Structure 1
Amino acid sequence: MRTQREKKLITKYWLFGGGGAMLLGSGLAVLLHGSKLKEINADSWFWVSTGGFSLIMSGLSFIGDANRFRTLADVLQELDNRARL
């Protein structure tokens, strides 16, 4: 049985992981769009590519936070299991 604290951490894990994956995918799409704009010599290619890169980095940060929340939930569960023995 999971404690309330573990449930909150798992919820944050899913929210941050899903949000991070969405940002990462969106950033890749925007970055590729910026590369196409560069090929046709559009003026805005630099800013579009910079926005795509920042979305990618934000997504990676969210995925890292999700990993931290999952690890904390697993540690709490392991500590609860040890306390029961």
Structure 2
Amino acid sequence: MRTEREKKLLLKYWLFGGGGAMLLGTGLAVLLHGSNMKEANEDLWFWVSTGGFALIMSGLSFIGDANRFRTLADVLRELNRRGG
């Protein structure tokens, strides 16, 4: 049986992991769009590519936080199992 604290950590894990994956995928798409803009000699290609890179890095950060929440939930489960 999961405790309320463990349930909250797992909810954060799923929200941050899913959000991070969406940001990562969106960032890759925007970065590729910026690359296509550069090939077409459009003016704003640099800013679009920079925005895509920022989205990628944000997604990776969210995925890292999700990993932290999952680890905390696993540690909490182990401590509860041991009776501590």
Q: What is the TM-score of this pair, normalised by structure 2?
A: 0.98
**For 1:29-85, what per-residue CA distance to the aligned partner results, in whole angstroms no more than 9, with x for missing partners?**
00000000000110000000000000000000000000000000000000011118x
Gaps (5+ residues) in structure 2? none
Aligned to 2:18: 18
Aligned to 1:70: 70
Aligned to 2:4: 4
Distance 2:71 2:59 in 1: 18
Aligned structure 1 segments of 4 or more residues deviating by more than 4 angstroms: none
Distance 1:7 1:83 in 2: 18
Aligned to 2:51: 51
SS of residue paired to 1:21: helix
Gaps (5+ residues) in structure 1? none
RMSD, aligned α-carbons: 0.9
Distance 1:15 1:40 in 2: 37
- Between the aligned residues of both structures, percent identity stands at 82
Q: What is the TM-score of this pair, normalised by structure 1?
A: 0.97
Aligned to 1:81: 81
Q: How many residue pairs were aligned?
A: 84
